[in-house]
Structure 1
């Protein structure tokens, strides 16, 4: 992070719990809060540390970017942690994101299969690299087309860093409010990154029951209704 960056994570609500059982806790992370701690004491406050205040053994099984809001699953027991991480690794977890993007999309739905790699000279940014990038696949559907922007549903098959942000940029439609990748107009069009992890489905690690979690954000509901 830049030396000019001032971390001021939201504190109200302190934690928004969607679901909890003996194995896991599911939360709606706000934009602006780190999922896991950064380097240095000034970046120690994060979703995980807040959960660990009550559940010291809690561990992450996946992450969202600081600027992204939405559903995050945290394991409360070691066995649950291993089982949940395996589900993410073998791609049996279903994830659905909602985003406001710049411009008018040429197609109402499609798939983006463009490999990504870390941008070594501009970390933590990532970039498209057709030669040595890792496979990255995203399915998208336009839910609502407005004059200069669109609400899209994004369903990632893979989970590369900044995947959704870069894939929409690759289409020529950066996500509004994206401080890393949006052009000037798209950046100024929103006060925060307009990317929200709206829904997630996985199997309960003990009994195998399929669980589904949904979360609203400050700009769109989990069902895809814009909040004006």
Structure 2
């Protein structure tokens, strides 16, 4: 029996070599079979998307071999939607939580009805009126009691003065009588304040009692809603059971066990859907790719038709299980090294160095890669004290860095960075043409929690990020620009270059926000700072190796 979800290639793929290892989904170059499958799916998507949609979706293709050794592919989209009518046979969701007759929608309605009941009680006219009355009485009580306390305090000060005078001027018999009178006055004021508190309590109490009837009902309904929500979430989690190439099954909670509660939408991305269907129907997965189609989302950087890695926040734990048993390609980011590239020393004295870091070399070592500027410098200068790397450049960025030989010099340079007295500029080669010759980009940035280390523009929670730019050279396809960052956010130049509200021209070779090339064409070209010891202002410049690739 034929499977409507299995698509045979329309294109001639007879001469294409089948991949020996499955795609590493978190950093990959799509296999040619993946690209052809994606192109065929894109041609179908053109009939679905009118361009008027608020936002597009992430789509995925999985190249598979069936039991007859025939090559084909499966298609999926990320997320779940209602009434997404089309003639494309996408693989089904692992669990259809939006089905009107399913338990999730039914329980969701029950929880929604509880929320409506809570809102109804909270907005009850009598309840609101009682709250207003109680608020008014409490304010009057607070003012009245505060006034009495102030009077009592003033009287207390007056009594203290009078006591001192009595003790100073009166004879023993008269003194005792007058002091007793002052003590009684103090007691009277104490009981006067106590009676005032009791009076206001008698006014507040009945109102609180009436209000508590409503609040007990509200709390009862909220507890019930919380209980039902937790039960529904647990029941939903139980529906997501993920297969892998070994035939093993793992639950959603088990794959997120060490990370806490699974995030919303975990298991609904294209990758897990495709692999689940393939394993359940005895297809052999060969390669995979995910691409964006439709209008970009409001915050994330997505270009229609471009491939993107699987999201780390939702998919990494799930795919970690599902890919067990498949021979995987190596993570290309761990293979990108600079062991064969030397660090050029631009300037050196007894206190510090200025170096030209090659692209591909880390500033400091990571968990998996030990070759880094810091490690090389420590080996070269074993007697240096304190951290030597005064600031960092991204692994894929080349250019100028300050290296310090002592802790005191390091601290001095750090202070210049803190007070923003060090100026830096970068050169970058961009995809496409830039309209304006110069300007300022102001786009606040925050980390994309589900796609680390990617950043996104976030006007609500993002940190301020500003970049000056100047076009240096242009051709029909590329633009060489000078960037001067005013702030120093993670991936600031990369996002400001690629975002539609920035230059809308990704840096060439930017695998996160653009298209892969031989390297990321970003170079820290100049730096100006005050020497911490000699107090001389120093400026250094180095050309970018890609300046003429335009």
Confirm or deny a common fold (TM above 0.5): yes
Give unmatched runs, 5+ long, in structure 2: 1-25, 28-329
1:16: which partner in 2?
A: 344
Bigger shift: residues 120-129 or 55-64: 55-64
SS state at 1:32 partner: coil
1:92-145: per-residue Cα shift (whole Å, max 9, x none)?
A: 111110001111112110000111111121111111111111111100001111
Change (3 A) 1:88 1:192: same
Alignment-derived partner of residue 48 in structure 1: 374
Equivalent of 1:165 in 488, 494, 505: 494
Q: Within the alignment, does 1:75 sit opposite 2:404 as a pair?
A: yes
Name the larger-Rg structure.
2
Shift of residue 193, structure 1, vs aligned partner: 0.5
Q: Which of residues 543, 547, 550 is equivalent to 1:216?
A: 543
Shift of 1:12: 4.1
- Regions of 4+ moved over 4 Å: none
Compute the displacement of 1:13 (Å): 4.5
Separation of aligned partners in 2, 1:207 and 1:36: 28
Helix, strand or coil at the partner of 2:461: coil
Distance 1:178 1:13 in 2: 20
* Counterparts of residues 120-139 of structure 1 (less than 5 Å): 120-139=449-468
Query: Aligned match of 1:201 in 520, 525, 528?
Result: 528
Counterpart for residue 241 of structure 2: none
What secondary structure, in the 3-state scheme, does the structure 2 residue paired with 1:164 have? helix
Cα deviation code 1:142-185 (max 9, x no counterpart): 11110111000100011111110000112211001001110xxx
Asked if structure 1 preserves the Cα contact closer than 8 Å seen for 2:445 and 2:458, the reply is yes
Q: Distance in 1 between matches of 2:399 and 2:424?
A: 11
Structure 1: unaligned runs, 5 residues or longer = 221-225
Please state if 1:181 is matched with 2:509.
Answer: no
- Residues 196-217 of structure 1: CA deviation (Å, up to 9, x unaligned): 0011010101121101111233
Higher relative contact order (Cα pairs below 8 Å, separated by 6+ residues)? 1
Change (3 A) 1:227 1:145: closer
SS of residue paired to 1:81: helix
Q: For residues 21 and 160 of structure 1, what CA distance do their matches in structure 2 show?
A: 30
Q: In structure 1, how many angstroms separate the alpha carbons of the residues matched to 2:430 and 2:479?
A: 5
What is the CA–CA distance in structure 1 between the aligned matches of 2:445 and 2:421, rounded to whole Å? Answer: 21
Q: Structure 1-normalised TM-score?
A: 0.89
Higher helix share: 2
Length, aligned pairs only: 216
Measure how far apart 1:218 and its partner are.
2.1
Comparing 136-145 and 13-22, the one that deviates more: 13-22
How far, CA to CA, are the matches of 1:89 and 1:7 in structure 2? Answer: 34
2:359 corresponding residue in structure 1:
31
**Range that drifts further, 9-18 or 66-75:** 9-18
2:394 aligned counterpart, secondary structure: coil
Task: Determine if the alignment matches structure 1 residue 112 to structure 2 residue 441.
Answer: yes
